[in-house]
C-alpha cells in the first residue's frame, strides 16, 4: 500500500541535498538504507532519494528529518528559500488580507493568484509586493510563474549557444543581456564539469541565479 506523506510548507533545497550527499561520499542507496534502518522509514528507496534531489517531489516532515540525520546536517540546511507566493507570505507571517491591503488588491484577487501560483499584478503592485516580501529578481521571476520556461531555455543553452538563446533567457529573467552572457558561460562550464550533468541540469535555474550573483 502506498504511503502518502504531507509535503512541507517551505521549499526543499534539492540542490543542497545532492551537494551534501556527494560531499559525504554517499550514494542514494546508502542514504535510503540508513533511513530505513536507523529512522524506521521503510518505504524510502534509492529512487525516492534521487527524486528528491532532482526536485521531482519534496520529502515529508519525517522524511526530511531522516534525510538530515543521514547527511549529518540540520533540517534547516535542507529547507530552501520560499519560492511561491504562499511560501513568501507564510515566511513573513502575514495573512492574505494583509498582503492584499499592502499591494492595493482585492483579497479574492490576491488569493486567486496565490492559488494559481502566478503573480499578475501591475507595475505599482509588483513594486509593493517586492518591498513587502523582500523579493530579489530570482524570487520575482519565480512568483510570476516563469521558472518553468526559464528552466527549459537554460537547458537549451547547454547545446544551443547562439545569440537567440541568450536573448530569450534575458527576456524571461528580465536581466541585462551582458549579465546573462557572463552567467551562461559560468553555467555551461558548471554543467560540463558536473559529476552528474542530468542532476545539474535539473537545477539549472538555481545554478543560473548563482552564476548571476557571482557575475554581479
Mean pLDDT computed over 202-211: 92
| d(C-alpha 114, C-alpha 107), whole Å | 10
**What is the predicted pLDDT for the residue at 15?**
83
Q: Which tens digit of pLDDT belongs to each residue from 155-164?
A: 998 877 667 8
Q: What is the pLDDT averaged over residues 76-84?
A: 81
Rounded Cα distance between 152 and 175, Å, is 17
Show the cell assigned to 185: 558561460
What pLDDT, in 10s, does the model give residues 60-79?
889 999 999 999 998 878 87
Q: What is the pLDDT of residue 6?
A: 37
Contacts 24+ apart (CB under 8 A), 176-182: 179/212, 179/215, 179/216, 180/212, 182/211, 182/215
Percentage with pLDDT > 90 across the chain: 66
Q: Pick from 7-11, 73-77, 130-134 the range whose average pLDDT is largest.
A: 130-134
Q: What pLDDT does residue 13 have?
A: 85
pLDDT, tens digit (0-9, with 9 covering 90-100), for 27-68:
999 999 999 999 999 999 999 999 999 888 889 889 999 999
- For residue 48, what are the β-bridge partners? none
- Tell me the average pLDDT across 114-134: 95
Average pLDDT of the chain is 89
- Stronger pLDDT, 164 or 2, i.e. the higher one: 164
- pTM, two decimal places: 0.69
Mean pLDDT on 169-183: 95
Q: Evaluate if residue 10 carries a pLDDT over 60.
A: no
Amino acid at each position: 500500500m502506498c504511503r502518502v506523506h504531507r509535503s512541507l510548507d517551505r521549499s526543499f533545497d534539492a540542490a543542497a541535498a545532492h551537494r551534501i550527499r556527494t560531499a559525504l561520499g554517499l550514494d542514494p542507496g546508502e542514504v535510503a538504507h540508513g533511513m530505513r534502518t536507523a529512522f524506521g522509514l521503510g518505504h524510502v528507496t534509492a529512487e525516492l532519494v534521487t527524486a528528491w534531489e532532482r526536485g521531482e517531489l519534496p520529502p515529508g516532515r519525517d522524511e526530511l528529518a531522516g534525510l538530515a540525520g543521514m547527511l549529518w546536517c540540520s533540517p534547516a540546511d535542507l529547507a530552501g528559500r520560499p519560492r511561491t507566493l504562499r511560501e513568501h507570505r507564510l515566511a513573513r507571517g502575514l495573512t492574505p488580507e494583509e498582503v492584499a491591503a499592502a499591494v492595493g488588491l482585492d483579497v479574492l484577487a490576491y488569493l486567486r493568484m496565490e492559488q494559481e501560483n502566478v503573480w499578475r499584478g501591475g507595475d505599482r503592485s509588483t513594486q509593493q509586493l517586492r518591498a513587502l516580501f523582500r523579493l530579489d529578481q530570482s524570487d520575482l521571476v519565480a512568483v510570476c510563474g516563469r521558472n518553468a520556461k526559464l528552466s527549459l531555455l537554460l537547458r537549451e543553452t547547454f547545446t544551443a549557444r547562439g545569440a537567440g538563446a541568450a536573448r530569450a533567457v534575458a527576456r524571461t529573467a528580465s536581466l541585462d543581456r551582458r549579465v546573462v552572457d557572463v552567467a551562461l558561460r559560468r553555467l555551461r562550464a558548471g554543467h560540463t564539469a558536473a559529476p552528474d550533468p542530468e542532476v545539474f541540469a535539473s537545477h539549472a535555474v538555481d545554478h543560473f541565479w548563482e552564476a548571476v550573483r557571482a557575475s554581479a
